[in-house]
Structure 1
Amino acid sequence: MDFKNTGNRIQELRKMKFHNRSHFAQALQTSDENIKRIESGRGLPSIDLLIKMSLTLEVSTDYLLFGTVTNSDDEVTSTLIRLQHQLSPAGKKALHNIAKEIYLLEKG
């Protein structure tokens, strides 16, 4: 298991669902510094936090830790992340704005 890759997956998913790291930390009832440490690959979340992340980000713990896809939702998420990496900075910003609008519409 590669801590850096795990951190990158968590960070990419977090950016798709939350405006910033502190909102994510609040949702998980942990510190912003703990999330920063995990996303930078300097450590892994505790088992409890890993499960909370998995539920909050709506992916499996296997996907967070290893990048393996276990169901169709995880496959869609991993495909979106892979495609996002191929976008220009302007494309990434546009995609983020679209995702944000969809989130706001679904939130009500």
Structure 2
Amino acid sequence: MRIREYDYGPIGTRLRNARTMKKCTQEYVANKLGVSSQHISEIERGLSGLSIPSLMEICRILDIDADYILFGTVTRDNHNPLNEILVKMTPEQSSHAEEIIKAYAKSFGIIS
């Protein structure tokens, strides 16, 4: 089975945008990733794709979600006051907070 050709252009554009927003150079990202800056340039220009491990590492380096790079959607906002609290919680505390928020949302008919 052959996988159809994919347009990597939008992924490269989002990666470049994320990198420049963090004021990182291609060389910096390449160094952290253990690849050449030419490879990062090719990814950003949509000429080359990237592996899942590389995507995961780039997301860690730039502190961004893979959803943003892959789909252009932001699923996590580090500047959201709720997220700032949640990241400091243990998994158990986070689970309890989720239950409280769901109960609150149900009481206002936001979710069923």
TM-score (norm 2): 0.59
Count of aligned pairs: 75
- 1:73 to partner: Cα distance: 2.8
Gaps spanning 5+ residues in structure 2: where?
1-5, 81-112
Give the whole-Å Cα distance in 2 for the aligned partners of 1:60 and 1:47.
13
Gaps spanning 5+ residues in structure 1: where?
76-108
Give the whole-Å Cα distance in 2 for the aligned partners of 1:22 and 1:68.
26
Contact 1:59/1:73, CA 8 A, preserved across alignment? no
Structure with the bigger percentage of helix: 1
Give the whole-Å Cα distance in 2 for the aligned partners of 1:45 and 1:74.
28
Pick one of 5, 8, 19 that aligns with 2:10.
5
Pick one of 27, 34, 38 that aligns with 2:39.
34
- Matched AA of 1:34: H
Question: Does residue 63 of structure 1 match 2:80?
Answer: no
- 1:16 to partner: Cα distance: 2.3
Identity %: 33
- Partner residue in 2 for 1:80: none
